[in-house]
Amino acid sequence: MIIVLKNDDQTTIAELQQHFGNTNDVFVHNNRVAVQGITAADLSDSERVAAVELIDSVPKAVQGSREFHPEDTVIKTKHSIIGGDNFTMMAGPCSVESEEHVMKMAAVAKANGSTILRGGAYKPRTSPYSFQGLGEDGLKFLRKAADQYNMDVLTEVMDDEHVKLVAKYTDIFQIGARNMQNFSLLKAVGKTNIPVMLKRGMSATVDDILNASEYIAAGGNHNIMIAERGIRTFDNKYTRNTLDVGVVPVLQKLTHYPVIIDPSHASGHTEFVTPLALAGVAAGASGLVVEIHDDPAHALSDGPQALKPNEFKELSDKAFAIRELLTEMPQEQAEAGR
């Protein structure tokens, strides 16, 4: 149950915490107090009187919910603002391949509106015999390239033991799709104050995503964004996964975290990346994360889905144009959608 109080009612907040804090999970956000496992009947008379509104049914992932936190989460890093009315472009190579290469890709990313440089130093490859990433060297090259171009770093952390190490170099943690329910890892990044991009697992339901995000929030880290990167369906002959573009408005209704689209993994083939990216923007995503490479045929991983610089330019130009167009048009739907 969520008890909505007057904005300045610190007294009742304190009372509720004292009343329920020992036996139940209690969360406070501004004038909203969520107490799990109670009903209106459990409230004292004074608590009931103080309530402006009582919201009965609350999802388990309460801290991530709109009911508890109605306004959008806006994440601020050194060079980027993610969420709310902002639109954020993130790009870079799948794997960091060398200092020189990631530097070159950073230049391309920045020139086309990206403020965040993505790149993998630790790679969760399906086979143990595939290239596993450059490790800490990769992180160093990534950091250097980002600094050179005044960008933030986004890179994957694959296990709780690496959180400390990766934290030294990155501005945003990426949790990969295969680790979306690696709860030890979620808890570990939840204890940091570094923003987290949580990628949806290949067969994760919307509720699964929200519950996974709650593992991070439960540790005190609320700088979370959620990335849709395609799901597993019965057909993967022509695209690697199926982009579930509908999850953008669905998540925006249910949670306050920014929703990002990864068109590269969803598509798996260069030629479909841009249409998927634009679909995500038109559906209202807060940003895109795109794989780019100047020589996809020789990329160390995921070459077939990496856009060349000129292709990325087109994607970026169109993405920003659609976003701008939609921002300027009247927003009837917003009422219904929330």
Could you say which residues in the range 226-285 bind its own copies, by CB under 8 A? 231-239, 242-246, 248-250, 253-254, 266-267, 270-272, 274-276, 278-284
Amino acid 133 reads G
Which H helix or E strand runs over 272? Answer: helix 270-282
CB of 90 to its own copies, least distance (A): 19
Residues 6+ apart with CB under 8 A from 182: 159, 175
CB of 31 to its own copies, least distance (A): 22
Would you count residue 221 as binding its own copies (CB under 8 A)? no
Q: 3-class SS at 109? A: helix
Q: 3-class SS at 89? A: strand
Q: 3-class SS at 28? A: strand
Task: Transcribe 287-328 into DSSP letters.
Answer: EEEEEB-S-GGG-SS-GGGPBPHHHHHHHHHHHHHHHHHHHH
Give the interface segment with its own copies, choosing from 80-88, 95-103, 138-146, 211-219 (CB under 8 A): 211-219
Closer to its own copies by Cβ: residue 145 or 245: 245
Contact code string over 126-165 relative to its own copies, x by CB under 8 A: xxxxx---------------------------xxxxx---
Out of 41, 49, 297, 336, the only residue in the binding site for its own copies (CB under 8 A) is 336
The conformation of residue 197, written as its DSSP 8-state character, comes to E
Q: 3-class SS at 119? A: coil
Give the interface segment with its own copies, choosing from 15-23, 85-93, 204-212, 290-298 (CB under 8 A): 204-212
Closer to its own copies by Cβ: residue 16 or 62: 62
Restricting to residues 47-66, name those near its own copies by CB under 8 A.
Answer: 60-61
Would you count residue 337 as binding its own copies (CB under 8 A)? yes
Closer to its own copies by Cβ: residue 70 or 246: 246
Token pair, residue 108, equals 């391309």
Would you count residue 327 as binding its own copies (CB under 8 A)? no
Q: 3-class SS at 227? A: strand
Are 311 and 336 within 8 A, CB to CB? no
Closer to its own copies by Cβ: residue 110 or 123: 123
Closer to its own copies by Cβ: residue 146 or 281: 281
CB of 316 to its own copies, least distance (A): 11
Closer to its own copies by Cβ: residue 99 or 136: 136
Would you count residue 211 as binding its own copies (CB under 8 A)? yes
> Could you tell me which of 213, 208, 210 has the C-alpha nearest to residue 224?
213
Q: Give the number of residues in contact with its own copies, rule: CB under 8 A.
A: 86
Amino acid 132 reads Q
* Spatial distance between the Cα atoms of 220 and 223, rounded to a whole number of angstroms: 9
Amino acid 13 reads I
The conformation of residue 52, written as its DSSP 8-state character, comes to S
Would you count residue 112 as binding its own copies (CB under 8 A)? no
Token pair, residue 193, equals 């104050």
Out of 26, 33, 218, 289, the only residue in the binding site for its own copies (CB under 8 A) is 218
Closer to its own copies by Cβ: residue 55 or 326: 326
